[in-house]
Amino acid sequence: MSDQTKYANQIAVVKQECPDADEGEIGKEFARYEEDFLIPPEDALRSVIRKFQVSTGAEVTTNTSAPVREEKKVGRFSELGPEDRNVTIEVAVVSYTPRTQMVRGEEKQIAFGWIEDNPHEATSERVRWDYKDWGNKGESMIPGSIVRLEGVSVNEWNGKRSLNINRTTRVTVVKEGGGTAPPTGNETLTIARASEVEGFVNLVGRVMSAKPDVIVRKDGSGEIPIVRGKIADDSGSIGFLSWKAFEHEEGALVKIVGASVRKFRETPEIQINDGTVIEAYHDTSFPDITKLSESDKVSIADLRNGMRDVSITLQVENWAQRTYESQDGSSKVVRSGDVMDPTGRCRLTAWCDFDPKPGETIMIEEGRVQFWQGSPDLVIDSLEQVSSLADAPWEKIDPDNHWVEVGLTEMTRGGSRRGISTGGTIVAINSGSGIIERCPECRRMLRDGACSEHGAQIGEEDLRLRFVIDNGVSNANLFLGKESSESFLGMSMDDIKSEISSIGKEAFISNLRSRVLARKMAVHGRCAVDGQGAMLFADKIEVVDPNPAEEAEVVMKKWEVVL
Amino acid sequence: MISGTGSRRARQSAIRIFAQEYSESSLIERGAGEYDPSFVITKLGAKVNRCLVCGGLERMERRDGDSGPFYRGQVRDPSGTHYFDVAPFQPELHPDAEELLARFETGDSILVSIVGRQKSNESEDGGIFTSIRAESFTEIDLEAYKSWMVEAADATLRRLEAYASSQGAELNEEGLRVAGVPDDLVPGLLKAREHYSEFDTEAYRVWILKAFSRALGRAEETPEVSIDDNAKSVDSAPVKSVESADPRDVILGIMSSSGGDLVEYEDLQAACISAGASAEEAEDAIEHLRDITMEISEPKFGFFSSSS
């Protein structure tokens, strides 16, 4: 839909005031307000009129006839027309989903959700509409409650109507809702629980760190001062980002009311805005900063993309440095290697002259985590962040035999990791198992002799197997590359090729099915976990031969069943 | 709501479940959107979209429907019978289904493992007949079958424990979590507790014990495929969610909800059995409605429709 039709109503009003203004330009201006500033056209009207009055030379009067509309009170959505503004209506809040968007380097909080009219009647008597909250009304728009909205406007788009709640809208809570929404009353959450929700929370925690920082606006218009830090309780810790002055020092115990939790990459973070209240809190039994920082040490299994301020102990497996040419032509050095702890392996990258020896135990502070090929990569920027430990807190890990046992469910609920072993039953063989052709340019699988990126190609043959592994509670896509497929099938790729050409692809898959389906497998490899599920890349898989008598004994013991 | 093209939906895990728990279910949760998964929710709160079941193949047959051939079968485990089918629109499974059919027709005892999706038919009076639309299946050996029984017993015991924990807990998600119900069982158990009335869980323990004693090799091997056991089971048809509804009502219910489509004889019979009738009662009811009251007709052999 073009700006012209979307903003037709508003454009007409502007044209009334500034007859010389170009409609296309007016439309663009509204689009700019909506997209760049997140200001809905109703709110932008006055500013847009002013702009065109100035640019078209029309007389600027302080008393424009810009619509000051009569308040319209209604009981039902059906009484509303597509152009109604300044509407007063009572509604039930069904959902409230906050969303933070970066707009020109600034954070804007908007929200959307469902509301229902006729809120004092049964649900079947109500009509449900979408709404958008442009005015940060999250504290009143609590799902389950009934609110009176004064000064909302109707928005019609693609024939569907919704309500816009603007900054000037007054929201009065008529009836408080219970419900599952994050509490905005006085109830506080533990930090572990707050890390699982999205939306507004209250919590009590100790300030572990607080440092001033700046966010540089991308358009070069300046910097925004912020404060970054971390707060902790005995359930865990969480990073925070404060958009306003943060006056509490390290070690202070604070209660934070009305902070919003959002995710940076895969790491939850709390945002402290103008509406957030922070006050000193008194609880002599609350753990002190030494104790909290002790328990705040993480292990490789805990690492998530986007983490900051990470303290961790590691054993170095190998180390290498690489020189490359940077954009300005000078040569730069980056050092990296594989590191381990009892919970797994990951990569470590150093942007400083750090040269540990294989086998050395090191401790890192204030590290940050980014992702490299779907696995966590710890990054340090300065030598001060790392110290060498004479004694490892664990027995020396043998890198050649370091597989960490992880249940499939624990794996799918955790982060991406390397060096794990897990198990489950194969419940599906996915298409694309067997001999495939890859694009010589990018290694993508060719479909009908063509790559989605590079067009028709003479493919390079490759072998892979794709299964789904499942334990009844969780599942993961299991991938076997050429080497692990060959060793699992006990055949070379050439043998497999000739088998497929003699019996056909269907028969090959059917044979594979009778061989792996419903079989338990033990898998060694690495996993990548994202919002859509887990992928397990196998170095090695083995069929676990069933031993029902032993399995039965274990399960009976677990549930205290006696025959 | 259609989600963006880039998003994958998380795959549903395959619930290990004995036939009795599955067939007793009368709570169906239909996905709101076109691509949202639907679930059969059992009395113990298992939310079944996909399941992994095993058992002795008790019946296997090919049928020709309007949209092509399809297959239908039953597997028996220590608790009862799972019904499954392979649809006309799953031609990739037809060669394997043919092979399984051929194996079945040799008269050998066959143990199979089936991964499939929930399927349910509802009659007008609320009677629910649950079955499985197979996604893949394979013949397995006795050791693998025993191992599955142990896994299914483990999963059932886990649900029984969660069910016990939910007694006296506050019936909301937080309440169940606090009572120690594992996260993956919370939503299903909450719905189950709201829908089903109190029931005795002792029956569940009976076939769990049966499964263990077979896994330990203390009971006779594979009675699942013996004819005697089969016949007995019809007599001792367990109490179903809809206690012995009149099979005629069940049939008429299915007819009125079939939207004018022809319904197969086997489906009608299975639904009656699921509603507590014996096979003979189901047969009588079908004949009665067709020949005496003429409320249903049989325009094609083996396929029925409502007369009205």
Q: pLDDT for B118-163, tens place per residue?
A: 999 877 777 889 999 999 999 999 999 999 999 999 999 999 999 9
Q: Is residue A364 in a domain? A: yes
Mutant choice from A95, A187, A412, A551 vs B, greatest count of B C-beta within 10 A? A551
Instruction: Please list every residue in chain A whose beta carbon sits closer than 8 Å to the beta carbon of residue B207.
Output: none
| pLDDT exceeds 50 at position B5 | no
Q: Is the pLDDT of residue B97 over 90?
A: yes
Contacts of B149 in chain A (CB under 8 A): 548
Tell which of A378, A400, A422 closes a domain: A400
Query: How many Å lie between the alpha carbon of B159 and the closest alpha carbon of chain A?
Result: 11
Structure-token pair, residue B117:
């999706």
Q: How would you class A480 by CB atoms within 10 Å of its CB: exposed for 0-12, middle for 13-18, buried for 19 or more?
A: buried
* Backbone angles phi and psi of B183, in degrees to 5: -50, -45
Q: Could you tell me if A411 and A460 lie in one domain? A: yes
Q: Are A472 and B136 inside 8 Å of each other by CB?
A: no
Instruction: Enter the tokens of residue A114.
Output: 């469902």
For A83-132, how does the pLDDT look when each residue is reduced to its tens digit (9 = 90+)?
Answer: 888 899 999 887 787 777 666 666 677 888 889 898 887 666 788 888 98
- Is B52 close to A474, i.e. CB distance below 8 A? no
CA distance A412 to A535: 9
Of A180, A470, A553, which has the smallest distance from its Cβ to B14's Cβ? A470
Q: Reply yes or no on whether the pLDDT at A400 is more than 50.
A: yes
With an 8 Å Cβ cutoff, are B161 and A559 in contact?
yes
Inter-chain contact B136–A517, Cβ cutoff 8 Å? yes
* CB hemisphere CA count around A23 (13 angstroms): 14
Residue of chain B nearest A409, judged by CA positions: B184
- Claim to verify: residue A443 and residue A523 sit in the same structural domain: yes
Output the pLDDT for position B1. 34
Domain count, chain A: 5
Question: Is A557 inside any structural domain?
Answer: no
Q: How far apart are CA A17 and CA A33, in angstroms?
A: 19
* Pick from A199, A204, A202: nearest CA to A181: A199
A164 shares its domain with A134: yes
A33 is a domain residue:
yes
* Helix residue ranges, H only, B30-107: 94-105
Residue A116's CB: how many other CB atoms inside 10 A? 18
Which pLDDT band, with edges at 50, 70 and 90, does B242 fall under? Answer: very low
Chains A, B: CB contacts within 8 A come to 119
- Name which of A473, A520, A559 is nearest B157 (Cβ-Cβ): A559
Distance CA(A304)–CA(A302), nearest Å, equals 6
What is the arithmetic mean of pLDDT over A471-483?
95
Point out the domain boundary residue: A400, A422, A447.
A400
For residue A92 the two structure tokens come to 């039930």
Dihedral angle at the C-alpha atoms of A274, A277, A278, A283, nearest 10 degrees? Answer: -170
Beta bridge partners of A338: A347
Residues A41 and A133 grouped into a single domain = no
- The answer, for B98 touching chain A at a CB cutoff of 8 Å, is no
Inspect the interface and report whether the beta carbons of A513 and B138 lie closer than 8 Å: yes
**What's residue A340's pLDDT?**
92
Task: State whether A525 and A503 are in the same domain.
Answer: yes
Contacts of A469 in chain B (CB under 8 A): none
Out of B7, B96, B143, the one facing A548 most closely (by C-beta) is B143
CA distance A3 to A10: 11
Question: Which pair of tokens denotes residue B236?
Answer: 């001792």
Residue by residue, what is the 3-state secondary structure of A269-333?
A: EEEECCCCEEEECCCCCCCCHHHHHHHCCECHHHCCCCCCCEEEEEEECCCEEEEEECCCCCEEE
Chain A positions contacting chain B at CB under 8 Å are 180, 409, 425, 427-429, 468, 470-475, 477, 506, 510, 513-514, 517-520, 532-533, 545-549, 551-553, 555-556, 558-559, 561, 563
Which has the higher per-residue pLDDT, A199 or A453? A453
Classify B172 in phi/psi space as left (phi over 0), alpha (psi -120 to 50) or beta: beta
Averaged over B19-28, what is the pLDDT?
Answer: 94
- Name residue B263's beta-bridge partners: B304
Q: Is B125 helix (H, G, I), strand (E, B) or coil?
A: coil
Q: Does residue B8 sit at the A interface (CB-CB below 8 Å)?
A: yes
* Minimal-distance CA residue of chain A relative to B152: A472
Q: How confident is the model at residue B2 (pLDDT cuts 50, 70, 90)?
A: very low
Domain edge (last residue) among A150, A175, A200: A175
Q: Which residues in chain A are contacts of B146 at CB distance < 8 A?
A: 546, 548-549, 552
The pLDDT value recorded for residue A119 is 85
Q: Does B7 sit within 8 Å of A470, measured CB to CB? A: no
Model-wide pTM > 0.90: no
Residue A36 domain-assigned? yes
Quick one: tokens of A418?
Answer: 């390397």
Residue A164 covered by a domain:
yes
- Taking CA atoms, what residue in A is nearest to B217? A549
Residue A240 and residue A129 share a domain: no
Q: With cut-offs at 50, 70 and 90, classify the pLDDT of residue B117.
A: very high
B164: contact with A, CB 8 A cutoff:
no
Cβ contact (<8 Å) for B216 and A552?
yes
A519 contacts on B by Cβ (under 8 Å): 144
Domain membership of residue A64 (yes or no) is no
Confirm whether A181 is domain-assigned.
Answer: no
Residues B240 and B203 sit within 8 Å (Cβ to Cβ): no
Averaged pLDDT, B211-218 = 88
Same domain, A321 and A454: no
Please tell me whether residues A120 and A169 are part of one structural domain.
yes
pLDDT > 90? residue A5: no
Q: Are residues A94 and A168 in the same domain?
A: yes
pLDDT at B104: 92
Q: Taking 90 as the threshold, does the pLDDT of residue B195 lie above it?
A: yes
Distance (Å) from the alpha carbon of A365 to chain B's nearest alpha carbon = 34
| Contact criterion met (CB < 8 Å) for A561 and B52 | no
Alpha carbons A275 and A257: distance in angstroms, whole number: 9
pLDDT value at residue A159: 76
Q: Residue A102 burial by CB count (10 A; 0-12/13-18/19+): exposed, middle or buried? A: exposed
A-interface mutation test, from B154, B157, B159, B204, most A Cβ less than 10 A away: B154
Strand B27-29's sheet: what is its strand order? B27-29, B39-41, B47-48
Is it the case that residue A177 has pLDDT exceeding 80? no
Which residues of chain A neighbour B16 with C-beta distances below 8 Å? 472
What mean pLDDT is predicted for residues B63-72?
Answer: 90
Cα separation, A106 vs A113, whole angstroms: 23
Banded pLDDT at A427 (limits 50, 70, 90): very high
Residue A559 belongs to some domain of the structure: no
Residues 170-209 of B with CB under 8 A from A: 172-174, 182, 184, 208-209
What CATH number did the domain enclosing A374 receive?
Answer: 2.40.50.140
pLDDT category, B237, cuts 50, 70, 90? very low
A78 and A132 both lie in a single domain = yes
Question: Region A338-342: what's the mean pLDDT?
Answer: 91
Q: Which of A33-37, A199-203, B139-143, B284-288 has the lowest mean pLDDT?
A: A33-37
Taking an 8 Å cut-off on Cβ atoms, the answer to whether A548 and B147 are in contact is yes
Per-residue confidence (pLDDT) for residue A1, from 0 to 100: 56
Angstrom distance (rounded) from CA B288 to CA A389: 86
How many angstroms away from the CA of A86 is the closest CA of chain B? 30
Q: Which of residues 124-163 of B touch A (CB under 8 A)?
A: 135-140, 143-144, 146-151, 153-155, 157-158, 161
Q: How far apart are CA A474 and CA A527, in angstroms?
A: 14
Q: Same domain for A414 and A523?
A: yes
Kindly state whether residues A291 and A218 are assigned to the same domain: yes
Contact B16/A at CB under 8 A: yes
Q: Is the pLDDT of residue A63 over 50?
A: no
C-beta atoms of A563 and B154 within 8 A: no
Domain range for residue A326? 307-400
What was the ipTM of the complex prediction? 0.73
Which of A430, A477, A555, A557 would best serve as a mutation to test chain B binding (most B beta carbons within 10 A)?
A555
